[in-house]
């Protein structure tokens, strides 16, 4: 296999959660462009059609599955559908996530639990369901955040805690499933990339962080998707249990 072939996902099947918007769309499109058929999972199925069109435009097959990742049974149904349609699951992109910006003294138990339910529990239930059927050489990529490593001026205790927990989850699953199942498990910690979450920031917020941007711009989702393809592909065949930071240098300042 030559070097560029190592980045191919030809003949693979990828599941992307949170595929209806934002970075999930970029991840699904990138998997398809790298050669994978893609199972698109989200609670909002009305938006999955547009993502499916991007997958088919890349010459790959797309299947949309309504999935609430906070429900273990729905995660299992998602994987069952993938197996029924394609007969295999090679890549899981644990992208579904939500966030809040609520001061800690005012955050309700329901608000805190809702974020942890999606970001942490949802990642675990999806990984658990995929781990039952994945063959050696498969790859799970959890989407964390630099806010699991640093702070950025907003009160985001639930989001930061859930994303920090993804690092521990990634390490443990990598240890459990590496030698026994041959499944690699890694995480990406994105910095600031345009998404629905960044669209909700108050005017001037990103500008206030500009001194921390070593590369003075927001990231392009395609740059993050390229990191995903690397981790999902044989090119990262000796990488597991790692959290790869893609943030333009924010966490080094």
For 100-130, the pLDDT digits (tens) are 889 999 999 999 999 999 999 999 999 999 9
In angstroms, the CA 27 to CA 38 distance is 10
Annotation: CATH topology of 11-245: Rossmann fold (3.40.50)
Per annotation, catalytic residue among 159, 201, 205, 238: 159
Residue 136: count other Cβ atoms within 10 Å of its Cβ.
Answer: 10
Question: Mean pLDDT throughout 13-30?
Answer: 96
Query: Which residues touch 33 (CB under 8 Å, ≥6 apart)?
Result: 58
More confident residue, 58 or 207: 58
From first CA to last CA, the distance across the chain in angstroms is 39
What is the share, in percent, of the chain residues with pLDDT greater than 90?
Answer: 82
Tokens of 92: 């899981």
* Prediction pTM value: 0.94
Predicted local confidence at residue 105, as pLDDT: 95
- Tell me the HSE value of 147 on the side-chain side, using a 13 A CA sphere: 20
Which contiguous run of DSSP H or E holds residue 44? Answer: none
Q: What is the mean pLDDT of residues 184-190?
A: 98
SS3 helix, strand, coil % of the chain, rounded to 5? 50, 15, 35
Pairing of strands 37-42, 243-246: unpaired
Q: Is 159 a catalytic residue?
A: yes
Query: Residue 14 above 90 pLDDT?
Result: yes
Distances in whole angstroms, Cα of residue 143 to Cα of each of 99, 110, 123, 209:
13, 23, 9, 22
């Amino acid at each position: 296999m030559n070097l560029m072939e190592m980045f191919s996902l030809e003949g693979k099947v990828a599941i992307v959660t949170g595929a209806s918007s934002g970075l999930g769309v970029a991840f699904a499109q990138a998997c398809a462009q790298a050669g994978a058929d893609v199972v698109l999972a989200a609670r909002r199925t009305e938006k999955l059609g547009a993502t499916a069109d991007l997958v088919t435009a890349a010459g790959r097959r797309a299947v949309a599955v309504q999935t609430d990742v906070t429900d273990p049974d729905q995660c299992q149904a998602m994987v069952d559908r993938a197996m029924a349609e394609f007969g295999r699951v090679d890549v899981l992109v644990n992208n579904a996530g939500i966030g809040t910006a609520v001061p800690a003294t005012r955050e309700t138990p329901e608000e805190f639990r809702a974020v942890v339910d999606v970001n942490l529990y949802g990642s675990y239930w999806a990984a658990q369901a995929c781990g039952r059927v994945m063959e050696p050489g498969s790859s799970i990529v959890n989407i964390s955040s630099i806010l699991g490593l640093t702070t950025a001026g907003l009160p985001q205790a639930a989001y930061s805690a859930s994303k920090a927990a993804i690092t521990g989850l990634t390490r443990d699953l990598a240890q459990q499933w590496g030698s026994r199942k041959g499944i690699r498990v890694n995480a990406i910690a994105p910095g600031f990339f345009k998404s629905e979450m960044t669209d909700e920031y108050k005017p001037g917020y990103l500008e206030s962080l500009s001194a921390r941007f070593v590369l003075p711009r927001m990231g392009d989702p395609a740059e993050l998707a390229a990191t995903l393809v690397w981790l999902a592909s044989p090119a990262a065949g000796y990488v597991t249990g790692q959290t790869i930071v893609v943030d333009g240098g924010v966490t080094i300042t």
